[in-house]
Structure 1
Amino acid sequence: MLAIEKQYVQWHENETLHHARWLSQSNQVPPTRIILVDDKMTADEAYRLACEGTSMLWHGDFHNARQLLQALGRRIDRTNERSEQRKLKKAANKSAANKSVTPKEIPNLFHQQRQMQAQRSRILSRLLLELDAGYISQLRRAPDVSAACTAAFGKLDKAIDETCVLSFRDLQGALGAEGWREKGVPITGLGLSVFPHYGVFAPTRHEYVQLLLDVPLPDTCDVAFDIGTGTGLLAIILAQRGVKQVIATDLNPRALACSNDNFTRLDLSTVQLQQADLFPTDVPLANLIVCNPPWLPAKPSSPLEYAVYDANSTMLRGFLQGAKQHLAKQGEVWLILSDLAEHLQLRSRDELLGWFVDSGLKVKYRLDTRPKHGRSQDNTDPLFAARSAEITSLWCLVPFDS
């Protein structure tokens, strides 16, 4: 479980000052202006207050709070439609009409979308609720959220009867993650499911799985590394393909707990876990090193986004720079990477190939697949031109002297 630095919020209720521990896994700072609201609060008034920076501590019916949050989302969408969204819609119409979007427009559209998403998150996160020690809600019709919150935020201190305040949106995230953890994510082509934990990216896009099943293993493949294992999916595939020893690494304790859970469910005794920033230590050189790094070189805005965004391609470049020295003779590196960043004008193909060369690696071959997810087929998406052209590749890299 991740260590969370304790922060607190305070508010006045019946002329009495109250305080509680502030919980946020989305890196939202503790709110400083909090008012009490209940079922009488209208969506229009709540939207006005949230846009002004006022947080609202909900004292009404639990399901009414959920409906209010949905209503806030609709108002955000309408506002965006009247402002920045007009530019995005114009670009989407050009894409739908098969008109070209200039290279200068694409990165601007990407950054505009991210700014809108960040603003949306800030507004929706201003609806708050209080939970008693043990994550018990006193709201009418409130479900039992204790298991989901304990998994997401850790245990509260019952000895001091510690209460907490969190955004309703973060609570929804915790409940959603609990659902993933219980039901699992079916992996096409493997005939099994993986079970994500809170704060670990769920592999809902897994078109690359078939690439990993089709690609030939190195002639000798006794030891393989899975760098940045997350849920452990790549390590599972390697173990199922008969690799004798798979060492999976991750820096995130939540990912290590998640992948260990998945390995245990499948009784994979050949997989070892190690907490490490990229490569494991005190282990043999690998015949095969695999990595599926974050695909987009942009700054993450929350812990979960670290699986998608890699500021300045730091992880990708660090992986490439260190791979050769951890590779056994005749070993291979499998890099799984989408070219969406190239279509968004965030990184060029020449830049990527240059990093290969700088790392002492050359391309032995490349296998490609196209995405099948809904957004790649949606011609109303402002970034449809980039998403529809996306290709996910498995790059097989070997040292120059191989």
Structure 2
Amino acid sequence: MSTIHWTENHTHQSARWHSENAAPLPQRTIVADDRTKADDAYRQACEGTALLWRGDFHNARQLLQAMGRRIDRKPPRLSTSPSENFHLHRRSSSHRARVLGKLLVPLDDDYTLTLRRAPNVRQACLEAYGPSKGPMAVSLRELLGVIGAHQWRLKGIDVPALGTRIHPHYGVFAPVRGEYVDLVAHTPLPPAARHSAATSTAFDLGTGTGVLAAVLAHRGINRVMATDISPRALACARENVHRLALTDRIDVSGPGLFPEGRADLIVCNPPWLPARPTGPIEQGVYDPDSTMLHSFLAGLPAHLRPGGEGWLILSDLAEHLDLRTRQQLLDALQAAQLHVVGKIDTQPRHPRSQDAADPLHTARSAETTSLWRLIPAP
């Protein structure tokens, strides 16, 4: 168990260290409070020293913002290479997270945050971390993410294709990009699913919140098997299925990719970028070496019923960033002995695609999200 140590009021103290992104244990920790200057805090954090906050909670948030502004004074340099820009952007983001992650807050053994004007974070922490294992220290930046995730879980995210809301959990990719949901909601079902609605079966691989499984059930699929490798995603999907009163139509199982048996329709929306995630949220975006993509393609023919289709939902952002070529994708389809019977495209609607200040704007503005309709090659 990792433990941080510091001296306070001439007394040696310690607490369990926790980081969802597996940030390394700070080698040195000092106490900071309302008297701490932003320049000093920024310098200490850049040198690797963690600052355990003992002052006002709102002042801590302001200090975090001030440290962020000092990081932003040195924007990352840009290259003419899209892939190099991507890696520079990720390196800059990693540096930012590393520095801002040095501002820590203490949590008591019941997740109480004993700072002046601090919110009640016990329920948010219980949802994110599970039952407490005793007092611990976390970065303020991570705790703010936990609080934000709790609010999303309470309020939910409107999904027009369902006419209701989906409630994401901490660490589970939220369906904030509605274009991929709409693709699944409006693409014509394969003949095998249309002609035998009473016995139709679909798999939703990598279900996350369960949103696509719910859309398939909403469209009349009789039985949907939803899988994921993440225990958090499985718990989230089960809760959403229960909220939507679809427990008689949707089975959530895992951890794993393919369930047993065959289906008339198999849907997969894998992470779109072949890179390594640095934390639980990024697992919905980054897929090292396109492992999930290749696993889906390789297993698809053996799990489809006659007349069935596989639907691959994939953005071409990786192609615009020179992380994967279109030919590599086509070669992967051929290697899996799959035939493309159709492709439906849509343009992104999220704000970042219109943000000219985004260092990846050129690639994002050209992005297309596609639903590839696949069948076993004849």
Counterpart in 1 of 2:143? 171
Report how many residues are paired: 371
Letter in 2 for 1:117: S
Q: Aligned runs of 1:114-263 on 2, under 5 Å?
A: 114-157=90-133, 162-221=134-193, 222-263=200-241
**How far apart in 2 are the matches of 1:314 and 1:257?**
23
Structure 1 residue 61, shift from structure 2 partner: 0.6
In percent, how many aligned pairs have the same letter? Answer: 52
**How far apart in 1 are the matches of 2:111 and 2:33?**
20
**Which ranges of structure 1 fall in alignment gaps of 5 or more residues?**
1-5, 92-101
Structure 1 residue 383, shift from structure 2 partner: 1.9
TM-score (norm: length of structure 2): 0.96
Letter in 1 for 2:33: D
Match of 1:273 among 252, 255, 258: 252
The answer (yes or no) to whether the contact 1:59–1:139 under 8 Å persists in 2 is yes
Counterpart in 2 of 1:378? 355
Letter in 2 for 1:65: A
Question: SS state of the match for residue 208, structure 1?
Answer: helix
**How far apart in 1 are the matches of 2:189 and 2:298?**
22
Asked if 1:61 corresponds to 2:47, the answer is no
Match of 2:84 among 108, 115, 130: 108
Counterpart in 2 of 1:50? 45
**How far apart in 2 are the matches of 1:175 and 1:360?**
46
**How far apart in 1 are the matches of 2:136 and 2:355?**
41
**How far apart in 1 are the matches of 2:162 and 2:280?**
28
Question: SS state of the match for residue 119, structure 2?
Answer: coil
Question: SS state of the match for residue 242, structure 1?
Answer: coil
**How far apart in 1 are the matches of 2:324 and 2:74?**
32
Query: What is the CA deviation profile of residues 134-189 of structure 1, one whole-angstrom value per residue up to 9, with x for unaligned ones?
Result: 011221111111000111111114xxxx2111111111011000000001111233
Asked if 1:302 corresponds to 2:299, the answer is no
Structure 1 residue 389, shift from structure 2 partner: 0.9
**How far apart in 1 are the matches of 2:355 and 2:143?**
30
**How far apart in 1 are the matches of 2:9 and 2:354?**
54
Counterpart in 2 of 1:95? none
Question: SS state of the match for residue 45, structure 1?
Answer: helix
Structure 1 residue 379, shift from structure 2 partner: 2.4
The answer (yes or no) to whether the contact 1:245–1:270 under 8 Å persists in 2 is yes
Structure 1 residue 15, shift from structure 2 partner: 2.7
> Which one scores higher on RCO, CA 8 angstroms, separation ≥ 6?
1
Counterpart in 1 of 2:197? none
Counterpart in 2 of 1:3? none
Superposed structure 1 runs of 4+ greater than 6 Å apart: none
Counterpart in 1 of 2:377? 400
The answer (yes or no) to whether the contact 2:180–2:369 under 8 Å persists in 1 is yes
The answer (yes or no) to whether the contact 1:23–1:153 under 8 Å persists in 2 is no
**How far apart in 2 are the matches of 1:40 and 1:382?**
35
Asked if 1:12 corresponds to 2:7, the answer is yes
Structure 1 residue 355, shift from structure 2 partner: 0.5
Letter in 2 for 1:204: V
Q: CA RMSD in A?
A: 1.2
Asked if 1:74 corresponds to 2:69, the answer is yes
**How far apart in 1 are the matches of 2:107 and 2:255?**
35
Letter in 1 for 2:252: L
The answer (yes or no) to whether the contact 2:231–2:255 under 8 Å persists in 1 is no
Counterpart in 2 of 1:94? none
Letter in 2 for 1:11: W
Structure 1 residue 228, shift from structure 2 partner: 0.4
TM-score (norm: length of structure 1): 0.90
Structure 1 residue 7, shift from structure 2 partner: 2.6
Question: SS state of the match for residue 28, structure 1?
Answer: coil
Asked if 1:316 corresponds to 2:311, the answer is no
Structure 1 residue 329, shift from structure 2 partner: 1.2
**How far apart in 1 are the matches of 2:377 and 2:215?**
27
Query: What is the CA deviation profile of residues 22-75 of structure 1, one whole-angstrom value per residue up to 9, with x for unaligned ones?
Result: 121121122120001110001111000000000000011111001101111111
**How far apart in 1 are the matches of 2:83 and 2:48?**
29
Moved more, 137-146 or 11-20: 11-20
Structure 1 residue 211, shift from structure 2 partner: 1.6
Question: SS state of the match for residue 190, structure 1?
Answer: coil
**How far apart in 2 are the matches of 1:7 and 1:267?**
42
Moved more, 346-355 or 373-382: 373-382
Question: SS state of the match for residue 189, structure 1?
Answer: coil
Match of 1:347 among 276, 299, 324: 324
Letter in 2 for 1:19: S
Query: What is the CA deviation profile of residues 279-318 of structure 1, one whole-angstrom value per residue up to 9, with x for unaligned ones?
Result: 013xx31111000000000111112111100111111111
